[in-house]
Amino acid sequence: MTTNQSPQPRDQSEERSSDADEYIQITNLRKTFSKGTIVACDDVDLDIGPEDFVVLLGPSGCGKTTTLRMIAGLETPDSGTITIDGREITDLKPKDRNLAYVFQNITLYPHKTVRKNIQFGLDMKTDLTNEAKQERVEHAADLLGLSDLLDRKPKALSGGQQQRVSLGRAMVMEPDAFLLDEPFSALDAKLRDQMRVEVKNFSANSKRRWFSSLTTKRKR
């Protein structure tokens, strides 16, 4: 697994002294399966700044998704630590990490409108007023080009529009970081290219950290 990190790495020795609490730091992260016989991740070290966009790039099975799931709290590492803004979260439950995870497969509630799908996390996890919730939903919808689709059901949307709804549901939670697991794999080639550009633009506007995993073909 390799990482493609944007913007380019800064002088970390200089920045850590002044901005150490604004980093996501992953140190010596290791995860195995089948009683240690399968090594999914080994000695993963990453430092991510407040507005960095990080891509985990590699072939299927190299540990990209496992790394994201450990950051999110969906998998427990065998060893190593994960720290966000000076707080170690390695053993915290997913709900206590303030992270947004967008799964590989599009997971929307078919009986709910776009508005209600985006608002779902706010209803479940916050005490915001309905007015505050609607403000967040409509702001995200505006950024994602969904303002005219808020009253539609998922079945009336294209694949790209459905994936934007998934992103919107993550964005309204205002997390410390977005974790995207193969977010475009269910889309056709044209939509994949379009969504890659759009997500990069969203990340620039959100002022949050973004992680994404992308699979490459193995060389023969």
Q: pLDDT digit string (tens) for 175-195?
A: 888 898 887 776 677 777 777
Render pLDDT for 16-35 as a digit per residue (tens, 0 to 9).
434 556 678 999 999 999 99
Q: What is the pLDDT of residue 91?
A: 94
Amino acid residing at 51: E
Taking the C-alpha atoms of residue 21 and residue 86, their distance in angstroms, rounded to an integer, is: 4
- pLDDT at 131 > cutoff 60: yes
Domain ranges of the chain: 1-90+210-220
Greatest alpha-carbon pair distance for the chain in Å reads 56
Q: What is the pLDDT of residue 215?
A: 65
* Fold held by 1-90+210-220: Rossmann fold (3.40.50)
- pLDDT at 130 > cutoff 70: yes
**Helix 159-171 / helix 130-144 crossing angle, nearest 10 deg:** 140
User: What's the pTM?
Assistant: 0.77
Q: What is the pLDDT of residue 210?
A: 76
Q: What is the pLDDT of residue 120?
A: 95
Q: What is the pLDDT of residue 186?
A: 66
- pLDDT at 125 > cutoff 70: yes
Evaluate whether 111 touches 153 at the Cβ level (below 8 Å): yes
Q: Which two tokens stand for residue 141?
A: 């919808």
Mean pLDDT score of the chain: 83
Confidence of residue 50 (pLDDT cuts 50, 70, 90): confident
Confidence of residue 15 (pLDDT cuts 50, 70, 90): very low
The whole-angstrom distance between residue 109's C-alpha and the CA centroid of its chain comes to 19
Measured from the Cβ of residue 77, the count of other Cβ atoms closer than 10 Å reads: 23
Render pLDDT for 82-112 as a digit per residue (tens, 0 to 9).
999 889 999 999 989 989 888 877 889 999 9
| Phi and psi at residue 176, to the nearest 5° | -70, -30
